Amino acid sequence: MTDTMDSDAGVVALEIVDHAIKDGDATKKQFPPHIYELSINVRATWQAQSTSNAGSNGSNRLMPRRQCLADSTETDACSGNIAKHAHAQLAAEYLEAAGCSLCPACKARDGRRAAALTDQPDTKNLSIEWIVRNCGLCDTHGFLVTAKNASSDGSTEARQRLSKHSLIEFSFALALPERHAETIQVVTRMGDSKDEGQMLMKMTARSGEYAYCVRYKCAGIGLDTDKWRLILADEEERGRRHRAMLLALRDGLLSPQGALTATMLPHLTGLKGVIVVCPSTGRAPIYSALQDDWISRLCALESETCIVAPFETIDTFNLLMQDLIEDTHPALPAACQRSSESSVGAGNARDQLA
Amino acid sequence: METSSLTWLAADYHFPATYSCRVPMSSQNCARVCPSPGPATVRLALIRASIEVFGLPYVERVLFPHIRAMSVQVRPPECVAISTQVLRAYKVEDATETLIEAPVSREMAHAEGPTTIYLEVPLSLREPFSQVLSMIGYWGQASGLAWCQSIQIEAPRPEQCVRPLRLFPEQVPARPFFSCILSEFRDTEVAWEEVMPVISTRHKNPLRLDVYIWPLALLQEQGSGKLYRRTPFER
């Protein structure tokens, strides 16, 4: 990997990490009260998992997902789609538990979210304002209502495209090429109908260390992120949605979810990495845990505008996440702070500017 | 429009995992990808990131006239591996124009080394454009996470950057290199209303398509993947 970062800084950061872990101080990280964005860069160790597969290709063998890496090795992979799907399911539960409203589609756990409402008579005239105000899941996980042309006979009206990008993004989880293994398991399962009877299937159980990254842009909660315009001025509600997202993120890492978990729930045997927090406008750095020095590299980036919290165990990770859940609130983007000083959400904006 | 003297900014982006910048015109159900973003993708990402940092009015008034007209060069990563993935996705059904779930095939790329985006900007706007470059967090799909790890003042080396086929001298063999269609802004007079997707009225297509050649030569094919290595064009 071509590298432009200072190697001396990396050595210093390694010492800081070692010191913090020895002293048991790594858990007491002072996070800022307002967060613009955070990233989690981890190496998770899973045993006997099959959470993401590439289909059967018409055979009786379920293919594992494979990705070719730029160093010419081929490695095991888990798609980010499945991690995001599992996070959305969990987030919906936490949002409901916190009293946040969900749209009818998200209440029914319809993965199309707001797009599923277009054919409903009650919600025909959807707007970005309505969706963001009334659904915590569409607001945070994004949605896409596609544009539609009016029919020539006038039976259907034209529809404007409405969308919001997801505020949480998951990379593919990529196994470290020399630290993963695969075992083929023969299992029996029922066919689609009674006549097909029982059939033999080959499935793979994969084990290894997986590198993956998550980025969560919490400043976008309650906003139309195409225009970066504040729609939801209720700071309490923004805070509730933020906490639900973090709770679901914590659970997703501590209790892996995905395909085939009904009979092949993965064993989590290790979790280490770095949480990076940006308190004000900026992108939280992400760096691949495929690189052995990813913790020290990220720690070397620590500054006032980039808070870095390394962890080596699941309990340290849990404590760091607990601090984030209890003590942080989504920041407002600079553009909204300028425009909302005279509006309802101005109190929070002024606090942040001060 | 500000017309002070110009300088080159070079931003290096690290891809921590896989990414997927779809080749224009390739089917969404069977998407081919290019090894790094093309010029129109860069301009659109600049617009998106600058609205986040500076707000809509400033971008429309100050930055957009430069974004649509500035020179953009892209240097791909040192090595790029491309694999095909079968994924479950929502797609729009033609007949009813509703979303349905279906398996789709999409190539995913993995890179070694950063991809570098070069922009020629007015000296007076160097700071705002540096800030905008540092805010671009993905290329292609939102899951194609990227992080801007450094920004320098540095001019591009044309032999290492993506180039339209029509700019090649006749004698240079383009065959060993990766090539695909890319989109670019139609001209330097593209209007703000043409590129802002939130405005519903119909406008002229702001993009044009062209065949581009990448300074990436096929190194090997294995399994479902292809591996490309950066190989500069001859001067």
In a domain, B110, yes or no: yes
SS3 A315: helix
Interface test with B, best of A67, A148, A305 (most B CBs within 10 A): A67
The average pLDDT across B206-219 equals: 94
Q: What is the pLDDT of residue A174?
A: 96
The contacts of residue A135 (CB under 8 Å, 6+ apart) are A101, A102, A103, A106, A113, A114
* A175 closest CA partner among A307, A63, A324, A68: A68
Domain assignment present for residue B156? The answer is yes
Q: Is residue B108 part of a domain?
A: yes
Structural domains of chain B, count: 1
Identify whether B83 is part of a domain.
Answer: yes
Q: Residue A292 — pLDDT band, cuts 50, 70, 90?
A: very high
User: Is the pLDDT reported for residue A348 higher than 50?
Assistant: no
Report if residue B42 sits inside a domain. yes
List the structure tokens of A265: 């729930």
- Residue in A271, A290, A100, A92 with CA at minimum distance from that of residue A177: A290
pTM to 2 decimal places = 0.87
Give this complex's ipTM: 0.88
Q: CB B145 to CB A169 under 8 A?
A: yes
Compute the CA torsion angle A124, A125, A126, A130 (nearest 10 deg): -120
Cβ of A2 within 8 Å of Cβ of B81? The answer is no
Q: What is the mean pLDDT of residues B139-165?
A: 92
Confidence of residue A1 (pLDDT cuts 50, 70, 90): very low
Residue percentage of chain A with pLDDT more than 70? 87
Residue A74's pLDDT is 92
Query: What is the predicted pLDDT for the residue at A152?
Result: 75
Contacts of residue A59, defined as CB under 8 A and 6 or more positions apart, other chains included, come to none
Mean of the pLDDT values across residues B52-76? 95
| CATH code of the domain in which B197 resides | 3.30.70
Contact B222 A68 (CB under 8 A): yes
Q: Residue B188's domain spans which residues?
A: 6-230
Give B-chain residues touching A147 at CB under 8 angstroms. Answer: 200
Closest by Cβ to A70, choosing from B12, B86, B111: B111
Judge whether residue A34 has pLDDT over 50: yes
Å between B206 CA and nearest CA of chain A: 18
Give chain A's largest Cα–Cα span: 74
CA distance A172 to chain B (A): 6
Tell me the angle at which helices B126-135 and B39-54 cross, rounded to the nearest 10 degrees: 100
pLDDT in tens, A46-96: 999 999 998 888 888 899 999 999 998 999 999 999 999 999 999 999 999
Q: Chain-centre distance of CA A52, in angstroms?
A: 16
Query: What integer pLDDT is reported at residue A122 of this predicted model?
Result: 75
pLDDT for residue A29 is more than 80: no
Per-residue pLDDT averaged across B65-88, rounded? 95
Among A15-29, A171-185, A213-227, A309-323, the range scoring the smallest mean pLDDT is: A15-29
pLDDT band at residue A4, thresholds of 50, 70 and 90? very low
The angle subtended at Cα B17 by Cα B156 and Cα A26, nearest 5°, is 110
Indicate yes or no: CB of A228 within 8 angstroms of CB of B110.
no
Query: Cβ of A213 and B16 within 8 Å?
Result: yes
**Confidence bin at A13 (pLDDT 50/70/90):** very low
**Does B209 contact chain A (CB < 8 Å)?**
no
Q: What is the pLDDT of residue B2?
A: 58
Check if the beta carbon of residue A352 is closer than 8 Å to that of residue A32.
no
Q: What is the pLDDT of residues B87-120, one digit of tens each?
A: 888 877 766 667 778 888 999 999 999 999 999 9
B73 within domain boundaries: yes
**For residue A14, what pLDDT is reported?**
42
Q: Are B92 and A146 in contact (CB < 8 Å)? A: yes
